[in-house]
Each structure stands twice: as C-alpha cells, then as structure tokens.
Structure 1
Amino acid sequence: MTASETPVEIPSLPGLGTTWYRRGPRYWLRRALGAAAWLAVLAFCAYIALVLYGSFRGALPPGVRRVWDWAQVAASVVALVWGWLVQRREHRRRLLDPPGPDEFRAAKRDEHRRSTGLAVAGRVLWLVAAPVLPASAAWAVGWSVAAFTVRAYPSEVGARRRLEAHNGHPRTS
C-alpha cells in the first residue's frame, strides 16, 4: 500500500460494533449477550404462549384434551426442526450474496418500520392462535437457535468482503 492509499475504516455493524473484524473475546461476549437477551425475550413469549394454550386447553373435554396435547407435542417437535431448517437455508442463501454494512443497516430500518403494524395485528393473532401456540413457539425457538449458532453472520461476511476488496486483500471467507 502506498502512502497515498488509505485503508478503509472498519465499519461498525449493529449489535457487534467493530469487534467482528478481530473476532476476539469482546466479539464473542457481544454475540453471547445478544443471543441471551433474544432467548430471554423468546422464553417470555413461549411462557405466554403456554399460558394462552392452557386457557384454550381447559375448555376441551378430557379425552380430546389428551389427544390435542399429544398432537401439540408432535407439531412442536416438527416445528422446532422446521424453524431450524428454514433459518439455516436462509443463512446459506444470504452468505452467497451477503449485504454490505450500509445495505444491512437499511434492511434493518425497513424491517423495523414494517414490524410496527404487525405488532398491533399480532396481539389479536395471539388470542386466535392459542390452540397452536406451542408449535409456533417451538418454530421460533428452532429458528432463533439456528440464527445464533452460525460461524459468522452474513452482515460480517459482506462487510469483510467489501473491506478486503477495497483494501486489495484476498478474500478469506
């Protein structure tokens, strides 16, 4: 690199800052804390799902209740695996064309804007979906665990590729 060339500053990624570049202890701490916070929220949602399911379940006759419970167990196991597979496939697809830091931020902003309306509609859906909430919660758990157990997030791969392409270094990921 000549004196006239200046390296590009390492971009800060949401949730990871610039720790993604070195992947040291601070990086893994940030990833672990992010996953723990998300899984705590998910555990609360699963608890609410089970409470609502319990209120629906109480209205069923005892014979139907037992059959419905076993159907929920089976559906929940299938949903857990399905959530895992959906997330892993999406992760592989996003790694083929990972977003750069600016693209990632823009996508996150759009995602937050779209989710505001869904939050209001979601409150009503919780009540309507009470009979299948355990399976829905299991799907979300499978999806989330798969999302947090990847080697690198697509946003990291995209940022690293763009940084290395700009600085003239060969790709490592």
Structure 2
Amino acid sequence: MTPSDIPKLPGLGRTWYKRGARYWLRRASGALLWFVILAFMCFIVLGLYQSFRPHLPAPLRTVWDWTQALAACGAFVWGWVKQRRDIREKMLNPPTPTQAWLDKRYATQRGQGLGRAAVLPALLVLPVVPALFAWCVGTIAAVFSVREYPSEVGARRALEHSRSLAGEQERLR
C-alpha cells in the first residue's frame, strides 16, 4: 500500500492509518487547542456573568448562583451524553473520506453568517450563558475522548472496499 492510496482526513491527514506518535500528537494538539479556546471563552463568560450578578437582589443572587451551577453541571452531562450518542450513530454508518471533507466544509460555512445578528440574542441569554458553555465543554470533551473517530472507521472501510475491488479485478484477469 503506497502512502498516496491512503486518504487524508480532516484534522488527521494520513496519520490515522498507522496511529503512531504523529497521530496521537495531532489528536492531543487538537484537543489542547480546543480546550485552550474553551477555557478562554469560559473566562469571558464568567466575567460577563459576574457583571450581571450585582444587578440581582442579594437573596436572589445566592439562589441564582446555585441554579447556574446546577444548570452548568447538567448541561455538561447533557452535552457529553448527546455527543457520545451522535458518535455512536456515526460509527454505525461512518462517513467516507470524501464525505468527511464535505461535512467539515459544511460545518465551517454554517458558522460564518452569524456576526452582528447574534449580538442581540447573545445579550438576551446572558444570564444562562454559563450553562450553554458548560454544554459546549461537555460536547468537546466527548469528541476528544473517543478512541477512534467515525471518519477513521469510514476511511478504513472505504480502503478495505477498494482493496477487495482491486483483488476482485485481479482474479478476473
């Protein structure tokens, strides 16, 4: 098998095939990058939440803080469970390498038109933003904690399928 026969996958390149040190370095660096970004965003969110708290009456502030803490814990678990279920479903019907690239392109384009249109809804949900970000952290943690990505399974199956077709063509000759 030549290296050019191995398809590239988004975020992993061709390292998924051997799953060596370069593969695990790519996965670890991707996870670290996401967690640094999420930590920075959570820092900002907590700062925004702290700016919201003084406007609450003192007795309500304690109740609201505990409600936020419980909601954030629940949202983290919900994000984790939902993402793991989505991954399990994708493992049953994993994407081919081409489909993985199309999915990545679609996900990238989908996030681009928010801009100013998201400012007003963001201000309206400011009191519950910590729970929303806890959900995001749970989702991202679930993504990076799987042993193998669905795109890897799909690429492996596509590679095996192409090998079996090549073997079938050789037998017919």
Q: TM-score, normalised by structure 2?
A: 0.89
Q: Secondary structure at the residue paired with 2:14?
A: coil
Tell me if 1:27 matches 2:23. yes
Tell me the equivalent position of 1:118: 114
CA apart distance, 1:38: 0.8
Residues 18-63 of structure 1: CA deviation (Å, up to 9, x unaligned): 0000001110000000000011111111111111111111111111
Tell me the equivalent position of 1:47: 43
Unaligned 5+ segments in structure 1 are 1-5
CA distance in 2, matches of 1:157, 1:69: 43
CA apart distance, 1:127: 2.1
Tell me the equivalent position of 2:155: 159
Residues 105-130 of structure 1: CA deviation (Å, up to 9, x unaligned): 11111111111113443343332211
Cα contact 1:52–1:127 (8 A) shared by 2: no
Identity percentage of aligned residues: 52
CA apart distance, 1:8: 7.1
Tell me the equivalent position of 2:164: 168
CA distance in 1, matches of 2:132, 2:5: 42
CA apart distance, 1:7: 9.5
Tell me the equivalent position of 1:138: 134
C-alpha spacing 1:83/1:41, structure 2 compared with 1 (3 Å): same
Unaligned 5+ segments in structure 2 are 166-173
CA distance in 2, matches of 1:17, 1:8: 11
Residues 70-90 of structure 1: CA deviation (Å, up to 9, x unaligned): 000111111110010010000
Tell me the equivalent position of 1:94: 90
Tell me if 1:74 matches 2:47. no
Q: Secondary structure at the residue paired with 1:29?
A: helix
C-alpha spacing 1:115/1:21, structure 2 compared with 1 (3 Å): same
Tell me how many residue pairs correspond in the alignment.
165
Please report the RMSD computed on the Cα atoms of aligned residues, expressed in angstroms.
1.9
